[in-house]
Amino acid sequence: MTRASYFNLNAKLKMEVIIRTSPEEAAELASRLIAARMRAKPELVLGLATGRTMERVYDRLVAKHQKEGLDFSICRTFNLDEYIGVPPEDEHSYRYYMNHHLFSRVNIDLANTHVPDGMATDLRAAAAHYEQLIQEAGGIDVQLLGIGEAGHIGFNEPLSALMSRTRDKALMPLTRQQNAEMFGGDPDKVPKRAVTMGVGTILDARELLLLATGRAKASILAKAVEGPITAMISASAIQLHPNCKVIIDEDAARELKERQYYDWIFQNEPEWEEFRA
């Protein structure tokens, strides 16, 4: 895709839901979209997420780097969130996750990668600095998002203001339960707080790509996409965004009411042609 067609695609502002047959196919489509954006704009500012859903996306981006020469050398990244009190070298930190799953496997300049500082003594100042760094980079071009079972994007737990900015946030019991697997199965070992981009910070990105897979996400995904916009489900705020793609597998799509329409869009709209095969 040329730089011009990238901006033409961006000019067609809308929210779309794309349903793929499996988690692998959903991750493949998400990674192809990211790769297309990176090829069109090598200095892309990419917003990144962690979590199990994203591992498949990062594996595919690494494969594209190795097999197709996808170039990360001048792209810049900003992660959504980080646990408070977990140092970057700890395997539970999101900095460690990113280095492990993506950064150490591609030709990215680590100086161009950013993860919120969960060890800062002044968390408020560090959060403001993070917002400033995003601004100085020219804003986020594409923000990758997962969705938590509590309906969060980033760690924007229920009642996160839709205009919130990067800040620290207490995690819900459901979120700590959901993430216990990475802490030996014990929810009490999951940190109680995290620094997260705000909902407003996320909505400022020029394009959103939300990826969700698996049966456990079906109910919350349907609420986020087809339900009312509410601060109780921060993911529902994506409905306010003019350029948002929701990429899901069959299991995550099970509770959507309008899937025939979503399928028709993917099968018929011309900008999806190159991604159908």
17 vs 220 by CB, closer to ligand F6R:
220
Termini Cα distance of the chain: 16
Q: Which residue is nearest to ligand F6R (CB)?
A: 146
Residue with Cβ nearer ligand F6R (40 or 148): 148
**Which three-class secondary structure state does DSSP give residue 8?**
helix
**CA–CA separation, 241 vs 82, rounded Å?**
24
The residue among 75 and 153 lying less far from ligand F6R, judged by its C-beta, is 153
What whole-number distance in Å separates Cα of residue 5 and Cα of residue 243? Answer: 15
Q: How far apart are CA 244 and CA 264, in angstroms?
A: 17
Q: Using the rule CB under 6 A, is 234 a contact of ligand F6R? A: no
Binding mask 171-210 for ligand F6R (x = CB under 6 A): ----------------------------------------
61/80 with CB nearer ligand F6R: 80
Interface residue with ligand F6R among 17, 29, 30, 50 (CB under 6 A) is 50
Residue type at 248 in one-letter notation: I
Q: What's the token pair of residue 57?
A: 């996306």
145 φ, ψ (degrees, to nearest 5): -135, 145
3-state DSSP: the chain helix, strand, coil percent, rounded to 5? 45, 15, 35
- Shortest reach from residue 117's CB to ligand F6R, in Å: 15
Q: Which is nearer to ligand F6R, 141 or 154 (CB)?
A: 154
**Gyration radius (Cα) of the chain, Å:** 17
* Contact map string, positions 130 to 159, toward ligand F6R, x by CB under 6 A: ----------------xxx---xxx-----
* Interface residue with ligand F6R, options 38, 60, 81, 204 (CB under 6 A): 81
